[in-house]
Amino acid sequence: MRGNVAAIVLVSVGSYLLLSNLGLINVSLAHLLRTWWPALLIAVGLSLFFTGKK
């Protein structure tokens, strides 16, 4: 599962950067992180909880 999450993150970040460089989207990544950082912490915590070693 950890490999899948890493792959999804890499594809998502790469897609964002490509679309931003092409001028197809105009979204401030810094603004999104300032707004949604608590949700990111929750997602990481849940991921660690459910994929922890038994």
State if pTM tops 0.75: no
- As given in the structure block, the two tokens for residue 35 are 């707004």
State the pLDDT at residue 46.
85
| DSSP one-letter code for 54 | -
pLDDT score of 28: 83
Q: Kindly report, residue by residue over 1-48, the tens digit of the pLDDT.
A: 556 777 888 888 899 889 988 989 888 878 888 888 898 888 888 888
d(CA 29, CA 16): 9
